[in-house]
Homo-oligomer: A and B are copies of this chain.
Amino acid sequence: MAPKACLELHRRVRFGDTDAAGVVNFAHLLRWCHEAYEESLERFGLTAAEVFPTPGSLLEVALPIVHCSADYFRPLVCGDAITIRLVPVRLDLGSFEVRYSFTSSDQSVAQGLTRHLAIENPSRRRCALPTAINRWLEASNLGGIQPV
């Protein structure tokens, strides 16, 4: 049986995430989104080297982010525990997006989105998603709403 993807992650607001308004600075949320995406891939069993460029391992396919967005519902302060839920969605053969919802103390505090496009190295032409990402996208939907 195929493994399910791990789509619920946890982190805590750190002091360096805040700004002089006393709450989390908006720009850090997008970093948290990407780190949650990386952690989900890793827990699924993919190594970073399969998906992200590392020295001496030029990947054939890069997955640059072509769009992102975030909405902020409530302020977060240093020490707050956050739950991050991911919903990865394949958009077509060569792109996918990940939707992120952030809750703290069972309240919705923010949401984010990153959209990723597969391109060939070094031509930067659009291409198909790598197999590793396709496996993760499929596994991400195993726990979803089943058809009747």
Contact = CB atoms under 8 A, between A and B. Distances in A.
Interface in A1-26: 12-16, 18-23, 25-26
Which of A35, A49, A55 is packed against the most chain B CB atoms within 10 Å?
Answer: A55
A71 interface: yes
Contacts of A62: 21
Contact of A19 (B20, B30, B39): B20
A31 interface: yes
A69 B72 contact: no
A61 to B, nearest CB: 12
Tell me if A's interface is mostly helix, strand, loop or mixed.
mixed
Interface residues of A, number: 47
A137 to B, nearest CB: 18
Contacts of A26: 30, 34, 64-65, 68, 114
Contact of A68 (B22, B34, B70, B75): B70
Contacts of A75: 55, 64, 124
Contacts of A39: 12
